[in-house]
Amino acid sequence: MKAIAVHAYGQPPRLDDVPEPEASGPDDVVVRIGGAGLCRTDLHIMDGWFADAIPADLPLVLGHENAGWVHAVGPAVEHLAVGDPVICHPNLTCGVCRPCRMGDDMRCTSGPSLPGLMCAGGMAELFKTRARAVVKLAPEAAPAEVAALADAGLTAYHAVRKAVPELGPGTAFLTAYHAVRKAVPDLGPGTAAVAVGAGGLGHIGIQCLKAMTPASVIAVDTSEEALKLAGSWGADHEVRADGQQAQQVRDLTGQGADAVFDFVGEDATIGDSVAMLRPGGTYYLVGYGGTVTLPTMAMVLGEITVAANLIGTYADLADLVTLADQGKVTLHSSRYPLEAANDAIDDLRHGRIRGRAILIPG
Amino acid sequence: MKAIAVHAYGQPPRLDDVPEPEASGPDDVVVRIGGAGLCRTDLHIMDGWFADAIPADLPLVLGHENAGWVHAVGPAVEHLAVGDPVICHPNLTCGVCRPCRMGDDMRCTSGPSLPGLMCAGGMAELFKTRARAVVKLAPEAAPAEVAALADAGLTAYHAVRKAVPELGPGTAFLTAYHAVRKAVPDLGPGTAAVAVGAGGLGHIGIQCLKAMTPASVIAVDTSEEALKLAGSWGADHEVRADGQQAQQVRDLTGQGADAVFDFVGEDATIGDSVAMLRPGGTYYLVGYGGTVTLPTMAMVLGEITVAANLIGTYADLADLVTLADQGKVTLHSSRYPLEAANDAIDDLRHGRIRGRAILIPG
Amino acid sequence: MKAIAVHAYGQPPRLDDVPEPEASGPDDVVVRIGGAGLCRTDLHIMDGWFADAIPADLPLVLGHENAGWVHAVGPAVEHLAVGDPVICHPNLTCGVCRPCRMGDDMRCTSGPSLPGLMCAGGMAELFKTRARAVVKLAPEAAPAEVAALADAGLTAYHAVRKAVPELGPGTAFLTAYHAVRKAVPDLGPGTAAVAVGAGGLGHIGIQCLKAMTPASVIAVDTSEEALKLAGSWGADHEVRADGQQAQQVRDLTGQGADAVFDFVGEDATIGDSVAMLRPGGTYYLVGYGGTVTLPTMAMVLGEITVAANLIGTYADLADLVTLADQGKVTLHSSRYPLEAANDAIDDLRHGRIRGRAILIPG
Amino acid sequence: MKAIAVHAYGQPPRLDDVPEPEASGPDDVVVRIGGAGLCRTDLHIMDGWFADAIPADLPLVLGHENAGWVHAVGPAVEHLAVGDPVICHPNLTCGVCRPCRMGDDMRCTSGPSLPGLMCAGGMAELFKTRARAVVKLAPEAAPAEVAALADAGLTAYHAVRKAVPELGPGTAFLTAYHAVRKAVPDLGPGTAAVAVGAGGLGHIGIQCLKAMTPASVIAVDTSEEALKLAGSWGADHEVRADGQQAQQVRDLTGQGADAVFDFVGEDATIGDSVAMLRPGGTYYLVGYGGTVTLPTMAMVLGEITVAANLIGTYADLADLVTLADQGKVTLHSSRYPLEAANDAIDDLRHGRIRGRAILIPG
């Protein structure tokens, strides 16, 4: 079958002809790919940034955001049938450790097991995963439309990345949902939540906040165009990040925001984001790249909480799929044939993609 | 009446004869002092560290940790009777803003109002406070024994302090309780909590953890003597802070601790404390003085939460009084006559006090 | 001033000329009434049902759902100014007991203190309450439009009522909000909530559920007209209560609903409501009149929780006012001049009111 | 191998020689039994009470409270090694449905699968279960000492039982733990919890409350002997159930208890238990047999919550094992050789067992 594989770091991946995977293990599931998201992490993989931190044998088939239809299942898999439309969680988990049993999938005590980074991913016609990583979609769902919900390693595994100039479209939708979900109980009527960065992560975060809470949502971004879009996704206020954004948020909210979601996570946004909080508020660190540098004095006087976020759980992904299915969250994406992967990569490198690039096999 | 008042920064306070306060306002309460705690914050006040940050008119009667018996009440006070033994919360609050109504006393929207820092405190025979700040003690309680539970500004108002060499006896007992209370739901059977700093704050924190959770408690300190005492307060393990403490905590706990309470909060303890956490664990910042400097990459991969703490609420103080009344938490203190305040101050400056110094009026 | 007062049980109230109340106590607030809700509880009061359970001296000025503008304040009231538009919580509380301090206003240890039932209410030109019971409205708010949000004793004090044939328009809007608020954390994406009774309480409940959760909302009622309206308030599904309603809810939801809000609370609805739950679901008892009769065997096998609800807190009322101010919750009401109180009473007794009757002074 | 099997309802089980089970399925685990608890449910099974509700093919090997050492594992089992000491959760679950993934094991959507009731149990030399049901014990643990922690179906599956004369020693230890765990966040300093029934369930419940909360614990029982033992397990107060018990609890607590755990669940205890609650308190229904009959008026005025409980989760069992391992919870049991099962059954039927009877193979 066709697959997009990295053969050498620093070179574009190739369209290979590789053997089809088989559901040989008891819990294996082979998925016929409907769409595979291309994300900035893929650029970093092919550029070799992960070579030391998360070593993988080359050639490596890329693709950690995968959706499609069940093609074959192992003998122990009883809850999935051939033909079911599905989306795949990025991490393969053991299912018996305590974190797995409690729904804390990203902390499986076996450690990360990430197709597309550590073994063959889904930029191919067929993709092998395991039963526990498969979320069923509604019967009539179109996998290609939701593939980008399953963003994987980005947030978690930019281990060599020293600085992230910006979080572009290729970012972690699932991560955005997860961060919002944590804050829901605190965001009652009359509260205010800020989304710093109204791009790939932010546009999902804003929609999740509107779908799940009665909080006012303030979008903060450097780009007027992004802010215009933020309004169309439901943001109640848009604030241009021009150096006065923290003051503007305090003007809009009185005492400051109850929650600030930093979908960027750079040195510049961290201090500003914390400065937007009301006393007792929470700063959700979602994007990353910079360093949190906060005097304990200010943290204690403001009684601030800083909550970092790592991708999300299987249940989070299932919930997010439900919101998408109900039309409460929609993704923006551009499609490319699988064979045109290098065109998509080129467009991503040069900032020519709006939303997410999705590769579609033949 | 007699009172200990600061007349000039940089000079010892004096024993003054001042007019007795009266319960002139509708909600006023005058308390006959049974004991007033002396804390490191008092040293900083008399040294002038707060002169800019929290300006006060001199002479200023010191004392922000006060307990005694009701002496007189204003016309609107119905729930207190003359003679009731009481302990006083350090902050005077409005009672009608939303934080006050929800029990979030430290975030009263009127801002801080701290006797002993901003107006006359309790190092005197009589002390004027307000009804909302008064916690009733059990009928037979000895106020002098529990006065130090009400520690006030220390945590909150060391505004000029650049570095805290150690947390001595003069530290925030109420703050320690508050931090523990937050974490209780997460600390089930088989979990582990670390107390970094087994001194004034830590000895209360350890006892609260043992009284309120089934978690194993690990005390970490640089002093062998402090660790020995930690064992007597109920710590399950003692770890010497010799540079290998984070590794030792990980060895004791497997994946790391579920919660780390940093009662020191210096640059040196912050990184070490975070390094003791399991993935998904929480770092409670209680003491302060240093700067939190954490790479976002490590925070996100570990999905760490950093929760700062500011003193505590009225309900927290009432709960802590209950634990003390039930014998589950005990304070260590040394008593001095009010007139000998400068002896106590001298002993505190030179590290000669074990536990808390309590001043007792004639 | 003019006031509507009960002089003898069993007789219509009279339009009296009574002395104006004064803000004589330190925390008193006199409100110039913009609108006072008329509710079924008022019928019960004038019919004498409460004569034994909640004795009051006659004549008694009615009115426990009051909104207007501040007319005068006592000397200790600093956060309210003459002219502020306000709505009044139905219970006067002490402010210093632990429930008051924690926001649990209905459990003030001083016991209930309910104007309109136990002392003069707000069916008058002026109404005396206390500072702690007053919620400020937005500057441009029209008190008459929101008065019914403050429904008072209905839920709590029908002490003699033996059977409630139905919950009509004159029911507890605040109570409805309170019940929904409790359940919010459990009602994530993909969950389902049922409102049993789409009348006075239910129409607020449905709007609150839609504003605050991503749950699907199913309205259940015996009336086709009520169900049609339920759809206009945002219900996702409408189910006619024709004997098969529990089965229909299970058909719609698969395993059953996550939460059922019973805004009726009669013998007939209790069993049906519980039968609509999924295993582990919660039944919120809001309306009342019947008896909960459930075999422990079925409760345990289904691991059901039954949560009763009593009016709501000050913070709940403030939140509800915010939702109304943001246009997320709207009330349906019919206005009558204060002088025409007996016309409104007559219309209410004969089922001729849609929504809530509001009395408007001169 | 030897096994105790029911051949006909109404007759004593027989000691059979049956084929050894094999770990033939990928997730199978065969356990060499160290001890199997005998419980009142076993009497009901052999008496035929479950014949209709939970039909099983006879002969049926009994035993739903099993502990021992791993004897063999299926090919997909990687986290267990031959020789590991283990205890077995009573329900076999699918592991991939949402309840299983979230730790809600008793609500696996595949429905109950209960060895000892529906297929061969553990009153035998070897017992076949599945990987997800196995909790590892500490390396040096003695399985026979903790077997009774795994009580199974009792609480859940007395489907035909119309009245439970009393909850004897053969009751659900795990269930007791589960009920306590739910209430922990509400049981802070100064609160009071009541254990109604200080027998088989109650003695575990009392120890769990003391290990996990700072609440005062009040034991209520009809038996002076049981109350004396309750004191030895840590109860702070003992109240004889002589008709005045609700009043006595209110006298001890002021406003009533914060939580009442009814480990009996009969008509007589239900009303009394609810009468012990403070306003806003929660009644935990653990034992069962009677009918909850509560007027909605009283429930609403008291804003009472009734929370039923069904056995417990895998994580609960693991936590309980940890508490036992730490010496915070201890079980009382009497041992019998497996061959003497009918002696144990006879002793259980005639009330001659203190604590739990445990059958020990060869």
Asked whether the beta carbons of A121 and A16 are under 8 A apart, the reply is no
CA of C293: which chain D residue's CA is closest?
A: D293
Chain A residues closer than 8 Å to B41 by CB: none
pLDDT, residue A289, reads: 80
Does D308 contact C300 at a Cβ distance shorter than 8 Å? yes
Question: Which ipTM did the prediction report?
Answer: 0.81
For C189, the closest of A188, A190, A323 (CB atoms) is: A323
Mean pLDDT, residues B68-77 taken together: 94
> How many Å apart are CA A334 and CA A359, to the nearest integer?
9
Select from B205, B218, B155, B214 the least CA-distant residue to B331: B205
Mean of per-residue pLDDT scores for chain A: 83
Q: C212 touching A, CB under 8 A? A: yes
Check if the beta carbon of residue A201 is closer than 8 Å to that of residue A172. yes
Contacts of D138 in chain B (CB under 8 A): none
Looking at residue D185, its pLDDT comes to 52
Dihedral (C-alpha) D348, D353, D358, D362: value to the nearest 10 degrees?
Answer: -90
Of A278-282, C349-353, D46-50, D124-128, the least confident: C349-353
C42/C6 Cα distance (integer angstroms): 10
B86 vs chain C: nearest CA distance in angstroms? 14
C214·A323 Cβ contact <8 A? yes
Task: Check pLDDT > 60 for residue A213.
Answer: yes
Residue C135: closest CA among C281, C273, C325: C325
Pick B223 or C202 by higher pLDDT. B223
CA C69 vs CA C20, C85, C154: distances in Å = 15, 4, 24
Chains in contact with B, where contact requires at least 3 CB pairs less than 8 Å apart: A, C, D
Subunit contact C98:B315, Cβ cutoff 8 A: yes
Residue ranges, chain C, pLDDT below 50: 152-173, 175-176, 178, 181-182
pLDDT tens column, C340-350: 999 999 998 88
Quote the percentage of chain B above a pLDDT of 90. 41
Burial class (CB in 10 A: 0-12, 13-18, 19+), C83: exposed
- Rg for chain C, CA atoms, rounded: 20
Separation between Cα atoms, residue B126 and residue B338, nearest integer Å:
12
Query: Under an 8 A CB cutoff, do B255 and A109 touch?
Result: yes
Contacts of D320 in chain B (CB under 8 A): 189
Environment class of residue D165 by beta-carbon count within 10 Å: exposed (0-12), middle (13-18) or buried (19+)? Answer: exposed
Asked if C181's CB is within 8 angstroms of A322's CB, the reply is no
* Dist. CA C100–CA C107, nearest whole Å: 7
The answer to whether the Cβ–Cβ distance between B285 and A300 falls below 8 Å is yes
Q: Each residue of B283-307: pLDDT tens digit? A: 988 877 889 999 988 888 788 889 8
Q: Is D113 exposed, middle or buried (0-12, 13-18, 19+ CB in 10 A)?
A: middle
For residue A348, the model assigns a pLDDT of: 86
* Interval B132-154 mean pLDDT: 76
Selecting from A214, A318, A320 the residue whose C-beta is nearest the C-beta of C328 gives A214
Which residues from chain C sit within 8 angstroms of residue B100, using beta carbons? 101
Tell me, what amino acid is at B60?
L
Q: Given this model, what pLDDT does residue B159 score?
A: 19
Cβ-proximal residues to C244 (8 Å cutoff; 6+ apart), any chain: none
For residue B213, the chain D residues in CB contact (below 8 A) are 212
State the sign of the Cα–Cα–Cα–Cα dihedral A45, A47, A51, A57.
positive
For A187, half-sphere exposure in the C-beta direction (CA atoms, 13 angstrom radius) is 27
Q: Cα(C195)–Cα(C261) distance, rounded to whole angstroms?
A: 5
Q: Quick check: C213 contacting A, CB < 8 Å?
A: yes
How much is the average pLDDT of A14-22? 97
The DSSP output letter for A168 is -
Position A130 confidence tier, pLDDT thresholds 50, 70, 90: very high
The two tokens of residue B254 are 């497997």
Angle at CA B290, nearest 5°, toward B284 and B296? 65
The number of C-beta contacts closer than 8 angstroms across B and D is 46
For residues B78 and B76, what is the distance between their CA atoms, to the nearest angstrom? 6
Q: Reading across the β-sheet that carries A14-17, which strands appear in turn? A: A14-17, A2-6, A60-61
Contact yes or no for D308 and C296 at CB 8 A: yes
Q: Does B285 touch chain A (CB under 8 A)?
A: yes
**A291 with B294: Cβ contact below 8 A:** yes
- A254 in reach of chain B (CB within 8 A): no
Mean pLDDT of the region B324-351: 89
Going by DSSP bridges, is the β-strand pair A277-285/A134-136 parallel, antiparallel, or unpaired?
Answer: unpaired
More confident residue, D312 or B232: B232
Tokens of A196: 């710093």
CA C339 – CA D71 distance, rounded (Å): 87
Chain C residues whose beta carbon lies within 8 Å of the beta carbon of residue B27: 76
User: Could you tell me the pLDDT band of residue D99, with boundaries at 50, 70 and 90?
Assistant: confident
Residue B168 has pLDDT above 50, yes or no: no
| Residue in the structure block whose two tokens are 């109180």 | C341
Minimum distance, in Å, between the CA of residue B27 and any CA atom of chain C: 9
CA distance C275 to C269: 10
CB contact D320 to B (< 8 Å): yes
The CA distances from residue C235 to C171, C208, C209, C211, C228, in Å, are 19, 11, 9, 11, 9
Touching chains, D (3+ CB pairs < 8 A): A, B, C
Of the candidates A27, A76, A102, the beta carbon closest to that of D103 is on A102
Q: Hey, are the CB atoms on C292 and D289 less than 8 Å from each other?
A: no
Shortest CA distance from A324: residue in chain C: C189
**What pLDDT is recorded for position B49?**
79
**Contacts across the B-C interface (CB distance below 8 Å):** 44
What is the Cα–Cα distance from A335 to A343, expressed in whole angstroms? 11
Q: Yes or no: say if B173 and B148 are a contact pair by the CB < 8 Å rule.
A: yes
Report CB contact under 8 Å: B293, A295.
Answer: no
Q: Which residues of C touch D304 (CB under 8 A)?
A: 308
Share of chain B above pLDDT 70, in %: 89
Full DSSP string of A123-163: SBSEEEEEGGGEEEPPTT--HHHHGGGG--HHHHH-TT---
Q: What number is the average pLDDT over the span D326-350?
A: 90
| CA-to-CA separations, D25 to A95, C267, D89, D113, in angstroms, rounded | 17, 50, 18, 16
Q: What is the pLDDT of residue B267?
A: 92
pLDDT in the model for residue D206: 86
Q: Would you call A195 helix, strand, or coil by DSSP?
A: strand
User: Is the CB of C78 less than 8 angstroms away from the CB of B101?
Assistant: no
Contact B185 D190 (CB under 8 A): no
Q: What is the predicted pLDDT for the residue at B185?
A: 52
pLDDT of residue B222: 92
Sign of the alpha-carbon torsion through B152, B214, A304, A288: positive
Mutate which: C28, C78, C80, C96, vs B, most B CBs within 10 A: C96
Please answer whether residues B127 and B18 qualify as being in contact, where contact means their C-beta atoms are separated by less than 8 angstroms: no
Contact partners, residue D232, CB within 8 Å, separation at least 6: none
Residue D284 sits at φ, ψ, to 5 deg, of -95, 115
The whole-angstrom distance between B314's CA and the closest CA on chain C is 8
Residue D111 banded pLDDT, cuts 50, 70, 90 = confident
Assess C136–B contact: CB distance below 8 Å, yes or no: no
pLDDT in the model for residue A103: 76
CA distance D192 to chain B (A): 12
Name the band, by pLDDT with cuts 50, 70 and 90, for residue A59.
very high
- Answer whether residue B180 shows pLDDT above 80: no
pLDDT above 60 for D189: yes
Most confident of A342-351, D231-240, D300-309, D310-319: D231-240
pLDDT tens, D19-36? 999 999 989 999 999 999
Neighbours of B145 (CB within 10 A): 18
Is B360 buried (19+), middle (13-18) or exposed (0-12) by CB count in 10 A? middle
**C109: nearest CA in chain B?**
B79
**Quick check: A10 pLDDT over 60?**
yes
Asked whether the beta carbons of residue A75 and residue D26 sit closer than 8 angstroms, the reply is yes
> What is the per-residue pLDDT for D354?
65
The yes-or-no verdict on residue A157 having pLDDT over 70 is no
- Is the pLDDT at A175 greater than 80? The verdict is no
The per-type count for chain C, helices as H runs and strands as E runs, is: 12, 17
CA dihedral B99, B105, B109, B111 (to 10 degrees): -170
- Supply the pLDDT for residue A152: 31
Whether residue B303 and residue A255 make contact (CB cut-off 8 A), yes or no, is no
CA distance A317 to chain D (A): 12
Cα(C307)–Cα(C324) distance, integer angstroms: 26
What pLDDT shows up at residue C159?
19
Q: Do A26 and D76 touch (CB under 8 A)?
A: yes
How far apart, in whole angstroms, are the C-alpha atoms of residue C134 and residue D152?
54
Rg (CA), chain D: 20
**Which residue, C183, B265, C120, is CA-closest to A188?**
C183
Q: What is the pLDDT of residues D240-295, one digit of tens each?
A: 999 999 999 999 998 899 889 888 888 999 999 999 998 888 898 887 788 999 99
**How does residue B187 score in pLDDT terms, banded at 50, 70 and 90?**
confident
Q: How far is A87 from chain B (nearest CA, A)?
A: 23
Q: HSE-up of B220 (CA within 13 Å, CB side)? A: 28
pLDDT at B186 (0 to 100): 67
CB D221 within 8 A of CB D198: yes
Determine the distance in angstroms separating the CA of D102 from the nearest CA of chain A, rounded to an integer: 5
Residue in D182, D201, D183 with CA at minimum distance from that of residue D191: D183
Q: Min CA distance, C20 vs chain B (Å)?
A: 23
**Residue B36 reports pLDDT greater than 60:** yes
Note the pLDDT tens digit of each residue in C150-208: 653 233 222 121 111 222 222 234 544 545 544 555 677 888 999 998 877 788 888 88
Question: Residue with structure tokens 């309780």?
Answer: B177
Kindly state whether D307 is in contact with chain C, defined as any CB-CB distance less than 8 angstroms.
yes
**Which of C119, C22, C114 has its CA nearest to residue C310?**
C114
The closest alpha carbon to A171, from A195, A193, A187, belongs to A195
In this prediction, residue C168 carries a pLDDT of 23
Confidence of residue A229 (pLDDT cuts 50, 70, 90): confident
Tell me the mean pLDDT in the region D159-170: 21
Q: How far apart are CA B125 and CA C65, in angstroms?
A: 49
Q: Do A185 and C184 touch (CB under 8 A)?
A: yes
Test the D interface: residue of A77, A101, A181 with most D CBs within 10 Å: A101
Q: Do B102 and C97 lie within an 8 Å CB cutoff? A: no
Whether B92 contacts B113, CB under 8 Å? yes
Nearest CA in chain C to D269: C296
> How large is the average pLDDT for residues D199-219?
84
Question: Which has more confidence, C347 or D154?
Answer: C347
Residue D332: other Cβ atoms inside 10 A:
15
pLDDT digits (tens, 9 = 90+) for B74-92: 988 988 999 999 999 888 9
Q: Which of D156, D295, D308 minimises the CB distance to C304?
A: D308
Cβ–Cβ gap A107/B280 under 8 Å = yes
Mean residue pLDDT across chain D: 83
Q: What DSSP assignment string belongs to D143-209? A: HHHHGGGG--HHHHH-TT----S---SSS-HHHHHHHHHHHGGG--TT-EEEEE--SHHHHHHHHHH
Residues in chain C within 8 Å Cβ distance of D171: none
